[in-house]
Protein backbone atom coordinates (compact mmCIF):
# COMPACT_ATOMS: atom_id res chain seq x y z
CA UNK A 1 0.00 0.00 0.00
CA UNK A 2 1.32 3.46 -0.96
CA UNK A 3 1.99 5.69 2.03
CA UNK A 4 2.81 9.40 1.87
CA UNK A 5 4.37 10.93 4.94
CA UNK A 6 5.70 14.44 4.48
CA UNK A 7 6.57 16.47 7.57
CA UNK A 8 7.80 20.07 7.58
CA UNK A 9 9.71 20.54 10.82
CA UNK A 10 11.88 23.18 12.45
CA UNK A 11 15.13 22.14 14.09
CA UNK A 12 18.44 20.43 13.41
CA UNK A 13 18.46 17.87 10.61
CA UNK A 14 20.74 15.68 12.72
CA UNK A 15 17.86 15.29 15.21
CA UNK A 16 15.96 13.37 12.53
CA UNK A 17 18.22 10.50 11.61
CA UNK A 18 17.01 9.15 8.28
CA UNK A 19 18.36 6.48 5.98
CA UNK A 20 19.37 9.24 3.56
CA UNK A 21 20.26 12.89 4.26
CA UNK A 22 20.44 15.61 1.62
CA UNK A 23 23.06 18.35 1.81
CA UNK A 24 22.04 21.27 -0.42
CA UNK A 25 25.02 23.06 -1.94
CA UNK A 26 25.02 26.43 -3.67
CA UNK A 27 27.66 28.25 -5.70
CA UNK A 28 27.01 31.59 -3.99
CA UNK A 29 30.06 33.57 -2.93
CA UNK A 30 32.24 30.68 -1.83
CA UNK A 31 32.90 29.12 -5.24
CA UNK A 32 30.64 26.17 -4.53
CA UNK A 33 31.72 25.86 -0.91
CA UNK A 34 28.71 27.54 0.69
CA UNK A 35 26.57 25.32 2.87
CA UNK A 36 23.25 26.62 4.11
CA UNK A 37 22.59 26.77 7.84
CA UNK A 38 22.94 23.37 9.49
CA UNK A 39 24.47 21.68 6.41
CA UNK A 40 27.41 24.08 6.68
CA UNK A 41 28.24 22.52 10.03
CA UNK A 42 27.52 19.05 8.68
CA UNK A 43 30.08 19.58 5.94
CA UNK A 44 32.86 19.77 8.53
CA UNK A 45 32.10 16.24 9.77
CA UNK A 46 34.59 13.57 8.75
CA UNK A 47 35.59 13.76 5.11
CA UNK A 48 32.47 15.58 3.90
CA UNK A 49 34.16 18.92 3.46
CA UNK A 50 36.80 17.42 1.19
CA UNK A 51 34.25 15.46 -0.84
CA UNK A 52 32.06 18.52 -1.35
CA UNK A 53 35.00 20.52 -2.68
CA UNK A 54 35.71 17.81 -5.22
CA UNK A 55 32.38 18.11 -7.08
CA UNK A 56 32.73 21.59 -8.52
CA UNK A 57 31.53 20.36 -11.93
CA UNK A 58 28.21 19.06 -10.63
CA UNK A 59 25.59 20.82 -12.81
CA UNK A 60 22.85 22.98 -11.32
CA UNK A 61 20.04 20.65 -10.32
CA UNK A 62 22.41 17.67 -10.25
CA UNK A 63 22.99 15.25 -7.38
CA UNK A 64 25.82 13.00 -6.19
CA UNK A 65 25.40 10.08 -3.78
CA UNK A 66 28.19 9.43 -1.27
CA UNK A 67 28.61 7.19 1.75
CA UNK A 68 26.55 8.28 4.75
CA UNK A 69 28.85 6.90 7.42
CA UNK A 70 30.10 10.35 8.61
CA UNK A 71 26.53 11.26 9.60
CA UNK A 72 25.42 7.81 10.73
CA UNK A 73 23.05 7.19 7.82
CA UNK A 74 22.98 4.93 4.76
CA UNK A 75 23.75 7.60 2.16
CA UNK A 76 24.32 11.33 1.82
CA UNK A 77 23.05 13.06 -1.30
CA UNK A 78 24.87 16.23 -2.33
CA UNK A 79 22.37 18.31 -4.30
CA UNK A 80 23.29 21.45 -6.26
CA UNK A 81 20.44 23.89 -5.60
CA UNK A 82 20.09 27.46 -6.96
CA UNK A 83 21.02 30.37 -4.66
CA UNK A 84 17.68 32.15 -4.69
CA UNK A 85 14.52 33.01 -6.59
CA UNK A 86 14.68 35.97 -9.01
CA UNK A 87 12.06 38.71 -9.08
CA UNK A 88 10.85 38.35 -12.65
CA UNK A 89 8.23 35.67 -13.26
CA UNK A 90 9.91 34.05 -16.26
CA UNK A 91 13.20 33.50 -14.45
CA UNK A 92 11.37 32.30 -11.33
CA UNK A 93 9.68 29.57 -13.39
CA UNK A 94 13.11 28.43 -14.58
CA UNK A 95 14.44 28.25 -11.01
CA UNK A 96 11.34 26.37 -9.85
CA UNK A 97 11.92 23.88 -12.63
CA UNK A 98 15.55 23.35 -11.51
CA UNK A 99 14.55 22.94 -7.84
CA UNK A 100 11.83 20.47 -8.81
CA UNK A 101 14.19 18.52 -11.04
CA UNK A 102 16.76 18.30 -8.25
CA UNK A 103 14.14 17.03 -5.76
CA UNK A 104 12.79 14.48 -8.26
CA UNK A 105 16.28 13.11 -8.87
CA UNK A 106 16.69 12.59 -5.14
CA UNK A 107 13.25 10.94 -4.83
CA UNK A 108 13.94 8.74 -7.84
CA UNK A 109 17.06 7.47 -6.10
CA UNK A 110 15.10 6.69 -2.92
CA UNK A 111 12.47 4.79 -4.93
CA UNK A 112 15.02 2.66 -6.78
CA UNK A 113 16.84 1.81 -3.56
CA UNK A 114 13.75 1.27 -1.35
CA UNK A 115 14.77 4.06 1.04
CA UNK A 116 12.31 4.37 3.92
CA UNK A 117 13.20 7.86 5.18
CA UNK A 118 14.97 10.95 3.89
CA UNK A 119 15.73 14.40 5.33
CA UNK A 120 15.86 17.57 3.20
CA UNK A 121 17.14 20.82 4.75
CA UNK A 122 15.18 23.65 3.16
CA UNK A 123 17.74 25.88 1.35
CA UNK A 124 17.54 29.53 0.36
CA UNK A 125 18.26 31.44 3.54
CA UNK A 126 15.58 33.42 5.36
CA UNK A 127 14.90 35.58 2.33
CA UNK A 128 13.87 32.77 -0.04
CA UNK A 129 13.13 29.82 2.22
CA UNK A 130 9.33 30.07 1.92
CA UNK A 131 9.55 29.80 -1.87
CA UNK A 132 11.91 26.82 -1.67
CA UNK A 133 9.62 25.16 0.88
CA UNK A 134 6.53 25.62 -1.31
CA UNK A 135 8.27 24.40 -4.46
CA UNK A 136 9.83 21.37 -2.76
CA UNK A 137 6.65 20.29 -0.96
CA UNK A 138 4.61 20.60 -4.17
CA UNK A 139 7.17 18.51 -6.08
CA UNK A 140 7.24 15.84 -3.38
CA UNK A 141 3.44 15.72 -3.36
CA UNK A 142 3.28 15.26 -7.14
CA UNK A 143 5.92 12.54 -6.98
CA UNK A 144 4.06 10.53 -4.36
CA UNK A 145 0.79 10.72 -6.28
CA UNK A 146 2.48 9.11 -9.27
CA UNK A 147 4.68 6.51 -7.54
CA UNK A 148 4.40 3.53 -5.24
CA UNK A 149 6.84 4.92 -2.69
CA UNK A 150 6.48 4.43 1.08
CA UNK A 151 9.16 6.93 2.06
CA UNK A 152 8.98 9.28 5.04
CA UNK A 153 10.20 12.73 3.95
CA UNK A 154 11.29 15.43 6.39
CA UNK A 155 11.65 19.02 5.17
CA UNK A 156 13.79 20.60 7.87
CA UNK A 157 14.01 24.32 8.61
CA UNK A 158 17.09 25.62 10.49
CA UNK A 159 16.65 26.13 14.26
CA UNK A 160 14.59 29.18 15.22
CA UNK A 161 13.94 29.95 11.56
CA UNK A 162 10.32 30.91 12.16
CA UNK A 163 10.97 32.83 15.36
CA UNK A 164 13.90 35.03 14.43
CA UNK A 165 13.65 35.98 10.80
CA UNK A 166 15.74 38.87 9.53
CA UNK A 167 13.51 40.58 7.02
CA UNK A 168 14.57 41.08 3.42
CA UNK A 169 12.95 44.48 3.67
CA UNK A 170 15.72 47.00 4.32
CA UNK A 171 13.56 49.39 6.35
CA UNK A 172 12.44 46.55 8.64
CA UNK A 173 16.04 45.46 9.17
CA UNK A 174 17.01 49.00 10.11
CA UNK A 175 14.13 49.20 12.57
CA UNK A 176 15.36 45.98 14.20
CA UNK A 177 18.81 47.50 14.59
CA UNK A 178 17.37 50.68 16.10
CA UNK A 179 15.49 48.61 18.68
CA UNK A 180 18.81 47.66 20.32
CA UNK A 181 20.16 50.33 22.66
CA UNK A 182 23.88 50.51 21.89
CA UNK A 183 24.43 53.00 24.71
CA UNK A 184 25.04 49.93 26.87
CA UNK A 185 28.43 49.58 25.21
CA UNK A 186 29.58 52.98 26.46
CA UNK A 187 29.29 51.51 29.95
CA UNK A 188 31.28 48.46 28.85
CA UNK A 189 33.97 50.80 27.50
CA UNK A 190 34.12 52.66 30.81
CA UNK A 191 34.36 49.37 32.73
CA UNK A 192 37.26 48.28 30.53
CA UNK A 193 39.11 51.56 31.12
CA UNK A 194 38.63 51.20 34.89
CA UNK A 195 39.87 47.59 34.78
CA UNK A 196 43.04 48.67 32.95
CA UNK A 197 43.72 51.44 35.50
CA UNK A 198 43.13 49.21 38.52
CA UNK A 199 45.39 46.49 37.12
CA UNK A 200 48.44 48.80 37.16
CA UNK A 201 49.48 47.39 33.77
CA UNK A 202 50.04 49.04 30.42
CA UNK A 203 46.94 48.66 28.26
CA UNK A 204 48.68 46.38 25.74
CA UNK A 205 49.92 44.11 28.51
CA UNK A 206 46.51 44.10 30.17
CA UNK A 207 44.84 43.14 26.88
CA UNK A 208 47.24 40.23 26.27
CA UNK A 209 46.67 38.95 29.79
CA UNK A 210 42.87 39.29 29.60
CA UNK A 211 42.73 37.60 26.19
CA UNK A 212 44.72 34.68 27.58
CA UNK A 213 42.29 34.42 30.49
CA UNK A 214 39.29 34.26 28.16
CA UNK A 215 40.86 31.75 25.80
CA UNK A 216 41.89 29.38 28.59
CA UNK A 217 38.67 29.75 30.58
CA UNK A 218 36.14 29.31 27.78
CA UNK A 219 37.78 26.90 25.34
CA UNK A 220 37.29 23.39 26.70
CA UNK A 221 37.56 21.57 23.37
CA UNK A 222 39.62 23.24 20.64
CA UNK A 223 38.58 20.76 17.95
CA UNK A 224 34.85 21.16 18.69
CA UNK A 225 35.16 24.95 18.61
CA UNK A 226 37.17 24.85 15.37
CA UNK A 227 34.50 22.69 13.70
CA UNK A 228 31.68 24.92 14.92
CA UNK A 229 33.07 28.18 13.57
CA UNK A 230 35.01 26.87 10.56
CA UNK A 231 38.34 27.90 12.05
CA UNK A 232 41.67 26.08 11.84
CA UNK A 233 42.38 24.18 15.09
CA UNK A 234 46.10 24.94 14.93
CA UNK A 235 45.42 28.66 14.61
CA UNK A 236 43.22 28.64 17.72
CA UNK A 237 46.01 26.92 19.65
CA UNK A 238 48.56 29.45 18.40
CA UNK A 239 46.29 32.36 19.31
CA UNK A 240 45.76 30.92 22.78
CA UNK A 241 49.50 30.43 23.30
CA UNK A 242 50.29 33.98 22.13
CA UNK A 243 52.01 33.00 18.86
CA UNK A 244 49.34 34.83 16.85
CA UNK A 245 49.00 38.45 17.85
CA UNK A 246 46.01 39.62 15.89
CA UNK A 247 43.64 37.41 13.87
CA UNK A 248 41.28 39.08 11.42
CA UNK A 249 38.32 40.76 13.09
CA UNK A 250 35.66 38.39 11.74
CA UNK A 251 37.64 35.51 13.23
CA UNK A 252 37.74 37.19 16.63
CA UNK A 253 33.97 37.76 16.49
CA UNK A 254 33.48 34.11 15.49
CA UNK A 255 35.58 32.99 18.47
CA UNK A 256 33.57 35.20 20.83
CA UNK A 257 30.32 33.67 19.55
CA UNK A 258 31.68 30.13 19.65
CA UNK A 259 32.89 30.55 23.24
CA UNK A 260 29.42 31.72 24.31
CA UNK A 261 30.62 34.92 25.97
CA UNK A 262 28.19 37.29 27.69
CA UNK A 263 27.51 40.70 26.14
CA UNK A 264 30.17 42.52 28.17
CA UNK A 265 32.67 39.67 27.87
CA UNK A 266 32.23 39.63 24.09
CA UNK A 267 32.80 43.39 23.96
CA UNK A 268 35.93 43.16 26.12
CA UNK A 269 37.32 40.13 24.27
CA UNK A 270 37.07 41.81 20.86
CA UNK A 271 38.42 45.12 22.20
CA UNK A 272 41.36 43.35 23.85
CA UNK A 273 42.11 41.67 20.50
CA UNK A 274 42.73 45.17 19.13
CA UNK A 275 39.44 46.07 17.40
CA UNK A 276 36.77 48.70 17.96
CA UNK A 277 33.42 47.06 18.74
CA UNK A 278 30.62 47.51 17.83
CA UNK A 279 31.99 49.64 15.03
CA UNK A 280 30.14 48.99 11.76
CA UNK A 281 26.98 47.47 10.25
CA UNK A 282 28.27 43.91 10.64
CA UNK A 283 29.03 44.41 14.33
CA UNK A 284 25.63 45.95 14.99
CA UNK A 285 23.83 43.16 13.18
CA UNK A 286 25.74 40.50 15.14
CA UNK A 287 24.76 42.15 18.41
CA UNK A 288 21.14 42.59 17.30
CA UNK A 289 20.85 38.90 16.46
CA UNK A 290 22.43 37.78 19.76
CA UNK A 291 20.22 40.10 21.80
CA UNK A 292 17.16 38.73 19.98
CA UNK A 293 18.01 35.24 21.23
CA UNK A 294 19.98 33.77 18.34
CA UNK A 295 23.21 32.53 19.93
CA UNK A 296 24.34 29.55 17.80
CA UNK A 297 27.12 30.33 15.34
CA UNK A 298 25.49 28.64 12.33
CA UNK A 299 22.19 30.49 12.85
CA UNK A 300 23.95 33.86 13.26
CA UNK A 301 26.24 33.31 10.29
CA UNK A 302 23.39 32.27 8.00
CA UNK A 303 21.47 35.46 8.74
CA UNK A 304 24.58 37.57 8.25
CA UNK A 305 25.15 35.86 4.90
CA UNK A 306 21.52 36.48 3.87
CA UNK A 307 21.93 40.17 4.63
CA UNK A 308 25.26 40.48 2.80
CA UNK A 309 27.60 37.65 1.64
CA UNK A 310 30.57 39.79 2.71
CA UNK A 311 29.30 39.62 6.31
CA UNK A 312 29.94 35.88 6.55
CA UNK A 313 32.14 35.04 9.56
CA UNK A 314 33.57 31.85 7.99
CA UNK A 315 34.54 33.32 4.63
CA UNK A 316 38.24 32.45 4.84
CA UNK A 317 37.92 28.67 5.16
CA UNK A 318 40.70 27.17 3.08
CA UNK A 319 41.06 23.81 1.38
CA UNK A 320 43.62 21.49 3.04
CA UNK A 321 46.09 22.07 0.22
CA UNK A 322 45.78 25.82 0.58
CA UNK A 323 46.19 26.12 4.34
CA UNK A 324 49.96 26.15 4.39
CA UNK A 325 50.32 28.75 1.66
CA UNK A 326 47.62 31.07 2.98
CA UNK A 327 48.26 31.15 6.72
CA UNK A 328 50.39 34.26 6.53
CA UNK A 329 47.61 36.07 4.72
CA UNK A 330 45.14 35.32 7.52
CA UNK A 331 47.20 36.40 10.51
CA UNK A 332 49.84 38.82 11.69
CA UNK A 333 52.51 36.83 13.47
CA UNK A 334 54.50 38.18 16.38
CA UNK A 335 58.06 38.75 15.37
CATH (domain of 122): 3.40.220.10
pLDDT class of 175 with cuts at 50, 70, 90:
very low
Give the pLDDT of residue 267.
93
Q: Are residues 72 and 183 in the same domain?
A: no
**Last residue of a domain, which of 135, 157, 179?**
157
Asked whether residue 253 carries a pLDDT value surpassing 90, the answer given is: yes
Q: Considering only CA atoms, which of 20, 7, 101, 56 is closest in space to residue 319?
A: 56
Give how many domains the chain has, as a whole number: 2
Give the pLDDT of residue 231.
85
Q: Are residues 266 and 134 in the same domain?
A: no
Q: Considering only CA atoms, which of 82, 78, 104, 80 is closest in space to residue 94?
A: 82
Q: Are residues 153 and 17 in the same domain?
A: yes
Q: Does residue 107 lie within any of the structural domains?
A: yes
Q: Are residues 327 and 181 in the same domain?
A: yes
Asked whether residue 266 carries a pLDDT value surpassing 90, the answer given is: yes
Q: Are residues 250 and 328 in the same domain?
A: yes
Q: Are residues 33 and 86 in the same domain?
A: yes
Q: Are residues 178 and 152 in the same domain?
A: no
Q: Does residue 164 lie within any of the structural domains?
A: no
The full DSSP string for 258-278 is HTT--HHHHHHHHHHTT--SS
Bigger pLDDT: 2 or 109?
109
pLDDT above 90 as % of the chain: 19
Asked whether residue 71 carries a pLDDT value surpassing 80, the answer given is: no
| DSSP H helical ranges for 4-88 | 38-42, 48-53
Find the range with the poorest average confidence among 59-63, 117-121, 126-130.
Answer: 126-130
- Domain residue limits at 287: 170-333
Q: Considering only CA atoms, which of 268, 6, 319, 322 is closest in space to residue 154?
A: 6
Asked whether residue 265 carries a pLDDT value surpassing 90, the answer given is: yes
Q: Are residues 176 and 314 in the same domain?
A: yes
Q: Does residue 163 lie within any of the structural domains?
A: no
Cα angle 161-163-168, degrees, rounded to a multiple of 5: 65
Average pLDDT for 239-254: 86
Q: Does residue 235 lie within any of the structural domains?
A: yes
Q: Does residue 9 lie within any of the structural domains?
A: yes
Q: Are residues 204 and 150 in the same domain?
A: no
**Last residue of a domain, which of 111, 133, 157?**
157
pLDDT in tens, 157-174: 765 433 333 333 344 344
Find the range with the poorest average confidence among 40-49, 250-259, 265-274, 301-310.
Answer: 40-49
Chain centroid, CA 315 distance in Å: 10
Among positive and negative, which fits the CA dihedral 236, 237, 238, 241? positive
Q: How far is CA 195 from CA 117, 119, 231, 327, in A?
A: 56, 51, 30, 34
Q: Are residues 16 and 70 in the same domain?
A: yes
Q: Does residue 220 lie within any of the structural domains?
A: yes
pLDDT in tens, 56-67: 677 888 898 988
Q: Does residue 47 lie within any of the structural domains?
A: yes
**Last residue of a domain, which of 114, 136, 157?**
157
Q: Does residue 222 lie within any of the structural domains?
A: yes
pLDDT class of 180 with cuts at 50, 70, 90:
low
Residue 151 · residue 117 · CB < 8 Å: yes
pLDDT in tens, 186-243: 788 889 999 999 999 999 999 999 998 999 899 988 988 988 888 888 888 888 887 8
Q: Considering only CA atoms, which of 30, 103, 7, 144 is closest in space to residue 95?
A: 103
Amino acid sequence: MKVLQLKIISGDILDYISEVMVIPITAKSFRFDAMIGTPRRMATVGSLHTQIREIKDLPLGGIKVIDGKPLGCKNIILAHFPNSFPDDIKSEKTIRSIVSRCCLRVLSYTDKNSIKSISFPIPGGTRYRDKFEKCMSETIGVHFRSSESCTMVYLVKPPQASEYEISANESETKSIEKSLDFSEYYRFDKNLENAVRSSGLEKSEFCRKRLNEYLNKYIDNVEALANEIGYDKGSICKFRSGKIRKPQKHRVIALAIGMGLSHEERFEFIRCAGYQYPEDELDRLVETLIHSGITKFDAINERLFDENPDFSLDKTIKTPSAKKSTSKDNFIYRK
